[in-house]
Amino acid sequence: MAVWPGKWQPEAVAALEPYLGTDHIVEVWVGDPVTSRSGTLLEGHVYVADDGRVTAIHDRSGRPDVYPWPLLAGPVLRMTARIKGRKRKVIYEHPSWTPPQP
């Protein structure tokens, strides 16, 4: 059973579960939906680590200088997913958060 970070919404967990252990690169923005302009962003391949925590790693090449990290506590503002070389798609967006306009 996966151990998810604190304050993750059930909808965000459900949106990310299909991408665990896949070749997709996922972007996860977390922060307060009321006060965050853009939130804190982590990007990488997501999987369940040996200790059960949902974890991300940016590069799966096996280089010795690349380290995995557990996902940050929520709330989750937005998540996108893509396979390398393809267009990114939004898989979750917090209903109370307005993303910054370019």
- The model's pLDDT over 41-59, given as tens digits with 9 standing for 90+, comes to 999 999 999 999 999 998 7
- Phi and psi for 12 in degrees, rounded to 5? -70, -40
Q: Is 2's pLDDT higher than 90?
A: yes
Q: What is the pTM of this model?
A: 0.90
What distance, in Å, lies between the first and last C-alpha atoms of the chain? 39
Residue 98 belongs to some domain of the structure: no
Residue-wise pLDDT for 51-85, tens only, equals 999 999 987 777 777 889 999 999 999 999 999 88
Is residue 1, in this structure, part of any structural domain at all? no
**Average pLDDT in the chain:** 93
CB 3 within 8 A of CB 49: no
Residues in Cβ contact with 83 at an 8 Å cutoff, skipping those fewer than 6 apart: 23, 24, 25
Residue 36, in any domain of the structure = yes
Would residue 5 count as lying in a domain? no
Which residue range forms the structural domain that includes residue 80?
Answer: 10-93
